[in-house]
Chain A
Amino acid sequence: MSEHSVNIIMVEDDEGHARLIEKNIRRAGIANAIRHFVDGTSALDHLFHDPAGPAQNGPALILLDLNLPDMSGIDILAKIKADAKLKRTPVVVLTTTDDKVEIQRCYDLGANVYITKPVNYESFAKAIQQLGLFLSVIQVPEVGDGA
């Protein structure tokens, strides 16, 4: 993750949350480029068709919110994990839902990490910073490796 070529793709409909997530990730010392999408359609377009997107260009890590205005994050997760090129791309589900069934579904579909956004800001900031620290040590595979 220390390699700058890994892009962080954040799918988050709430601009404020996106900003706070970005700030706290940066506080954890992560300098990777972060691309932010507020809806599922543009996110999918970027993931699969954008020349600068992970399907065509370089490894990526996806931060995914489940509550999106145009679709459920679960649909995006399913599409990523069903795609030959993108299936190894780590997906961190970052959402407010803490429903047991929802969590199980995400892991069943191949989510790599599931994080519930804490309700109060202090915990939220701490969690995102810890996520940042976590991201800084994990290895991200090349897209399409061995596919």
Chain B
Amino acid sequence: MTITNRAFTRIVLAAMALGVLLLVVAGIAAVFAAQNNRLRAAWVVHTFEVERQLDHLTIAAEQLETARRGFLLWHRPNALTNAHARMRDIPHTIDVIQYLTQDNALQQVRMPALRADAQALINSAQTTIDREQSANPALRAMADFSTDASYFSMQSVRARIKAMYAEEERLFRRRTGAQDNASFQLYAVLGVVGLLIIIIMGAAFWVILRYTADLNRAQDALKDLNTGLEGAVAVRTAELSRANEEIQRFAYIVSHDLRSPLVNVMGFTAELETTIEPLATLIDRVDAEAPALMTSEARDAKTDLPEAIGFIRTSTAKMDRLINSILRLSREGRRTLLPAKIDLGEMTGAIRDSFAHRIAETGTAIDVGGPFPPLVSDRLALEQILSNLVENAVKYLKPGVPGRVAVTARRDGGRVVIDVVDNGRGIAPGDHERIFELFRRSGVQDQPGEGLGLAHVRALAYRLGGVITCISSLGEGATFRLSLPQTLEVEAREGAVR
């Protein structure tokens, strides 16, 4: 599986967003749960407080009873003080309990009865103490606590406290249970959120790993491709060079081997020509001296022979020129290139000057549009290319329009692009490739030429590691664009072809 750039960005962003969202949820849940927990803990503490007060009340009641008995039995003054303190203490504690249990209707309902029983207990204690302290013996005799109602009041108070205690216990259990529940819920939420975060982060991590691996793989593939491409280019260049060398060799051999028979044709044509005159003289003489021997064919031969020889001569002359052109081309191809720093402005200026006569005749203007980028190439080859291009521009004018030719150059990466632009008659798009072929020409054949110039230009451009293209349409002028490496690298085996 490969992950596209967009999908990767989307997935990772979504995972991040979801992760952040879950963290927020977890935070809120934690805060909420903590709040809840604190509240419940407060309620538990509250229950403990109520229980403590109930304990306190129980103890106070028991102490009151004990103090009362102690006083009745042994008349200890501190027992009396103690009893009085408890008597004050008990209602106060009941007040506290009533206040604390405000939230609980059930406990509140129990409160008046408890209060009444406690009061009864206090009252009976007070009564017995009062009687014991009075001087009246009858009353003292009545101080016997075994007969008063305090026993029942005490029983009742104990029972009520127990009931309330039980209620508080129940509340305590419920509240601690609820607290456990809340904690459990909190942990559950946190756990689920944590798990989700782990899953999402894991997935995001997996996607990132996957994507990184993909990227690395793509990078490696690209690197391989690059090195492969370089290798392929090197191989291709070597192949092209070999093919070029092969063609040069072929051209050389062909032109040489064609020359030999041509020398014969031309030679024997010349030999034949020398026989025309004696033959013509003979025919004239026969015509004059013995017309009977004369035939019309023989008479015709006198004019046919020179005509035939004339055609043979023009044809062989043309063939000779073509073969010489091929030979020149192949020789040019085998010339050792000498890379040198070239001032394009100077070179173009010199070329313009070499056409001074022709441009003055036709009123053509040649602009040399600097500045020119520096260039290292073979001077002679480049001069021939530019000279050919400028010559063509000056040659193929649009009738009635004064010619304008501009030569400009610019840098394009590691290459220099030279444009030769004219406003001449232009070249039909169908001919853009053809014109670079050997012996091919385009348009009206009103100018002398063999169709060699551009073939030569292209061969030279290739040799210089360049490319030449034509941008034009009929009647719209033409631009010849030459793209050359800024620095010509000459291979060691240049010129190895013989």
Contact = CB atoms under 8 A, between A and B. Distances in A.
Contact of B266 (A23, A97, A120): A120
A17 B271 contact: no
Nearest to A118: B263
A16 B261 contact: yes
A119 B259 contact: yes
Interface in A1-51: 14, 16-17, 20, 23
B206 interface: no
Contacts of A96: 256, 259-260
Contact of B256 (A23, A97, A122, A124): A97
Contacts of A17: 260, 263-264, 267
A120 B323 CA distance: 11
Interface of A: 14, 16-17, 20, 23, 67, 96-97, 99, 101, 117, 119-122, 124-125
Contacts of B267: 16-17, 20, 121, 124-125
Given A23-B271, A96-B256, A97-B256, A121 B498 contact: no
B498 A14 contact: no
Contacts of A122: 270
Given A16-B267, A17-B263, A67-B260, 17 more contacts: A14-B261, A16-B263, A16-B268, A17-B260, A20-B264, A20-B268, A96-B256, A96-B259, A119-B262, A119-B320, A120-B266, A121-B263, A121-B266, A121-B267, A121-B270, A124-B266, A124-B267
Interface of B: 256, 259-264, 266-271, 320, 323-324, 498
Contacts, number: 48
The 10 closest A-B pairs by CB, nearest first: A16-B264, A121-B266, A20-B267, A121-B267, A121-B270, A14-B260, A96-B256, A124-B263, A96-B259, A119-B259
Contacts of A16: 261, 263-264, 267-268
A80 B390 CA distance: 54
Nearest to B256: A96
Contacts of B262: 119
Contacts of A99: 498
B251 to A, nearest CB: 14
B264 A14 contact: yes
Contacts of A97: 256
Q: Which of A67, A101, A119, A124 has the largest count of B CB atoms less than 10 A from its CB?
A: A119
A131 to B, nearest CB: 15
Contacts of B269: 121
Given A99-B498, A125-B270, A120 B264 contact: no
A112 B498 CA distance: 24
A69 B274 CA distance: 32
Contacts of B324: 119
A74 to B, nearest CB: 13
A113 to B, nearest CB: 19
A94 B434 CA distance: 39
Nearest to B262: A119
Which of B262, B263, B264, B266 has the most CB atoms of chain A within a 10 A radius of its CB? B263
A67 B267 CA distance: 19
A132 to B, nearest CB: 15
Nearest to B313: A121
Contacts of B323: 119
- Greatest chain A CB density within 10 A among B264, B268, B324 is at B264
B223 to A, nearest CB: 45
15 contacts: A14-B264, A17-B263, A17-B264, A23-B271, A96-B256, A97-B256, A101-B498, A117-B263, A119-B259, A119-B262, A119-B324, A120-B263, A121-B269, A124-B266, A124-B267
A96 B255 CA distance: 10
